[in-house]
């Protein structure tokens, strides 16, 4: 980073930075003109007081400072551009390995061909199921080999709870996943129950 110049205040949060704007705003046109004349005269006296060697040394110092500042800015921009190019190359490649650790908000990840799966508009000619364009053929019904029977109407009161005619239908539909979790083990069948008394102590 370039060296900070002596007397420079980058934050601009000093007493002078808040008082001087008010003083400048209250000055008249004659005062502004007189102030500019005084500044030009003082600068001319300062230049005359400096020797040629001192002026050359000061100019060289300023050139070095500008060169360091320019080099710092160029290197920083170059590093940012290199990181962005690496990210774009990784994004356009076939692999997304560790790409999340180099996230860039300006890159449109959602538009990548591996992310966009398209619309659900591909219809199976056998079972008429809707699929995405890249889904394999026969994934739904094994190309017509698997044919499921139509779902029968469930018995009451389950049918009324599902279609909304039962008074408790709203509560049932709202908590249907909880009810399903409570009875998820009841579908297992068994022909023999063994009580292992020794294992239970």
pLDDT in tens, 141-186: 988 899 888 888 999 988 999 999 999 999 999 999 998 888 777 6
Per-residue pLDDT of 157-166, as tens digits, reads 889 999 999 9
Confidence of residue 88 (pLDDT cuts 50, 70, 90): low
Distance CA 9, CA 14 (A): 8
Residue-averaged pLDDT of the chain? 79
Question: Mean pLDDT throughout 116-139?
Answer: 87
| Per-residue confidence (pLDDT) for residue 173, from 0 to 100 | 92
Residue with tokens 């294992």: 199
Using alpha carbons only, what angle is made at residue 15 by residues 10 and 19, rounded to the nearest 5 degrees?
110
């Amino acid at each position: 980073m370039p060296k900070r110049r002596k007397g420079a205040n980058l934050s601009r949060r000093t007493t002078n930075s808040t008082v001087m704007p008010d003083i400048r705003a209250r000055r008249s046109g004659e005062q502004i003109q007189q102030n500019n004349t005084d500044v030009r005269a003082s600068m001319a006296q300062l230049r005359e007081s400096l020797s040629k060697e001192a002026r050359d040394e000061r100019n060289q110092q300023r050139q070095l400072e500008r060169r360091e500042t320019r080099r710092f800015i160029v290197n920083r921009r170059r590093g940012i551009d290199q990181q962005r190019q690496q990210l774009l190359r990784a994004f356009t490649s076939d692999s997304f390995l560790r790409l999340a650790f180099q996230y860039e908000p300006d890159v449109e990840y959602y538009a990548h061909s591996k992310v966009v799966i398209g619309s659900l508009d591909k219809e199976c000619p056998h079972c008429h199921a809707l699929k995405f364009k890249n889904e394999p053929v026969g994934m739904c019904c094994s190309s017509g080999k698997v044919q499921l029977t139509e779902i029968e109407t469930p018995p009451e009161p389950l049918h009324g709870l599902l279609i909304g005619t039962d008074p408790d239908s709203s509560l049932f539909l709202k908590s249907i996943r909880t009810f399903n979790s409570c009875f998820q083990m009841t579908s297992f069948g068994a022909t023999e129950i063994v009580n292992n008394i020794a294992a239970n102590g």
